[in-house]
Structure 1
Amino acid sequence: MSNETIEKEPLAAGQSGLAHAIDVLLSDDDIPPIQPDQEWANALTHGIASVTWIALSVWMVMQASEISTAMMIACAAYGASVIGTFACSTLSHTFLERPLLDRFRAWDQAMIYLMIAGTYTPIMCRYAEPAYRDVLLLLMWGYAFWGFAKKAIFSHRIHSISTLSYLLLGWLPAIPLYGRIPMSLFLYVLAGGVAYSIGVLFLKNDHRVKYFHAVWHIVVISASILHFAGIMRYVIHVPQ
């Protein structure tokens, strides 16, 4: 996943003052477009993760199919979102010439929205209050698709205002789940969320320290495995 600025477009005429203020506060103007001597490490880390997650996803979906069709679909969406995120990240660090560079960098960051929503989907299917589960899923995926479309389709802007929206999407769905999921699963989700949040520190400083972006990738992989382990243990294989 990339934090580099590819192209700064003028603010849209209708952009709110608050959004403008946040955009200025979190500006990435000092970040270089690419890091040619480090891109091999960035591509390799998430390339390996992509292949690994294909195998993990197939196994997870097969296990989920023994529970219900809904759980199988939820896990398929989860696996596909993680694979797509790592694959787009790999491509964004492999093709370093425009226009492919711009396109893959935009998709790279946009896929993060879908990965966050995908990770929560099996958990919500299992543990969310049935009375409002569908509403929660609709709101979560609606926000995720809005974020994806805004970044990958409509604007192609790569700037760190997304960091705030990633963190909001990553933490807000946990609120209605607290108290409804096993504490052990909550700790897995919490550990993964904390890992992602700590990783943002490496992401935000990858232009200052060599290979910090690859470290960010490794932290992201570790967080995704924590979530996978929690889902397999407490969502797919529910303790009796």
Structure 2
Amino acid sequence: MIELRDPVSSLSHLLTAIWAVFATALMYRLAPQPSRTVAMIYGMSMVLLYTASGLFHGLYYESTAQHRLFQKLDQSAIYLLIAGTNTPIMAILLPRRWRRWFLGGVWLMACLGIASLWALPKPPHTLVVGVYLAMGWIGIIPIRWYYQALGARAMNWAWLGAACYTFGAVCELSRWPVLIPGWIGPHEVLHFCDSAGSLAFFVFIVRHVLLRPGASPSGISGKYPVLPTHFISQNRLC
């Protein structure tokens, strides 16, 4: 039997990585042809993050340098997941004239964050988590377009995902709670919340972004991309 350094944190994310592989394959199958690229960017960012995190928390290290290497890979993948999650949402729901600016901004932040991890001395853990949290909530800036495109009920899935990620980060920063001493503490709760947040955003992106009528990064008009009222009133996508 394989012995894991941090079994709960490692297994929770390795299992999520396996789920993410199937979820990505499902998105590729369901997404309209023009949307498959952004769907794959999102899906692969999930697979990469949960694989990197599962390995980082599961492996034993022979040196501090080796530990730091895998930690950087894990932390870098978090930036990619944040940007990757925003990619299909922004590419499909935002008006064309704003799409490139928001997408460029979120990916620029991800690249700068990754570069800082590898080029600068190790930052405090609280700062790293805080930056992730702030970057994730930047996605709220264009929220009026999302509501106009989808309606309030569909957006509940996005809010649920954001709440899971935020609650996990708050637990990590506050070092609370300790549910089972020695087994399930704040960091394990963070991992559970990460997996739950990814599941909620997956439902949101597949059901309400990729499969909405006219979902295409190249097929959105320059005006607000709104659903016909009967789709919202009859809740066909919910």
**TM bracket, shorter-chain basis:** 0.7 to 0.9
Deviations 1:155-208 (A, max 9, x none): 362522122221221111222132333223322111111111111133235587
Q: Distance in 2 between matches of 1:100 and 1:62?
A: 38
TM-aligned CA deviation for residue 231 of structure 1: 0.8
Equivalent in the alignment of 1:170: 136
- Normalised TM-score (structure 2): 0.77
Equivalent in the alignment of 1:50: 17
Change (3 A) 1:238 1:101: same
Which stretches in structure 2 are left out of the alignment for 5+ residues?
A: 214-230, 232-238
Deviations 1:104-154 (A, max 9, x none): 112212211110111111111111111110111111111111112211x21
State how 1:114-129 maps to structure 2 within 5 Å. Answer: 114-129=80-95
Aligned amino acid, residue 56 of structure 1:
A
Instruction: Select 1:157's aligned residue among 122, 144, 151.
Output: 122
Equivalent in the alignment of 2:217: none
TM-aligned CA deviation for residue 57 of structure 1: 0.5
State how 1:87-106 maps to structure 2 within 5 Å. Answer: 87-97=51-61, 98=63, 99-106=65-72
Change (3 A) 1:38 1:91: closer
Q: Distance in 2 between matches of 1:197 and 1:208?
A: 15
Equivalent in the alignment of 2:227: none
Equivalent in the alignment of 1:84: 48
The 3-state SS of whatever aligns with 2:58 is coil
Q: Distance in 2 between matches of 1:225 and 1:125?
A: 20
> Moved runs in structure 1, 4+ residues, more than 3 A?
205-208
Which stretches in structure 1 are left out of the alignment for 5+ residues?
A: 1-35
1:180 paired with 2:148, answer yes
Change (3 A) 1:206 1:100: farther
User: Contact 2:4–2:10 at 8 Å: present in 1 too?
Assistant: no
User: Contact 1:128–1:180 at 8 Å: present in 2 too?
Assistant: no
1:41 paired with 2:18, answer no
TM-aligned CA deviation for residue 40 of structure 1: 1.1
Equivalent in the alignment of 1:193: 162
RMSD of aligned residue pairs (Cα, Å): 2.1
Aligned amino acid, residue 191 of structure 1:
L
User: Contact 1:124–1:137 at 8 Å: present in 2 too?
Assistant: yes
Equivalent in the alignment of 1:3: none
Change (3 A) 1:168 1:207: closer
Q: Distance in 2 between matches of 1:73 and 1:156?
A: 35
The 3-state SS of whatever aligns with 1:96 is coil
Aligned amino acid, residue 80 of structure 1:
M
1:143 paired with 2:109, answer yes
User: Contact 1:128–1:177 at 8 Å: present in 2 too?
Assistant: no
State how 1:218-229 maps to structure 2 within 5 Å. Answer: 218-229=192-203
Deviates more, 1:157-166 or 1:112-121: 157-166
- Normalised TM-score (structure 1): 0.77
Aligned amino acid, residue 191 of structure 2:
H
User: Contact 2:5–2:60 at 8 Å: present in 1 too?
Assistant: no
State how 1:17-28 maps to structure 2 within 5 Å. Answer: none
Equivalences, count = 201
User: Contact 1:46–1:89 at 8 Å: present in 2 too?
Assistant: yes
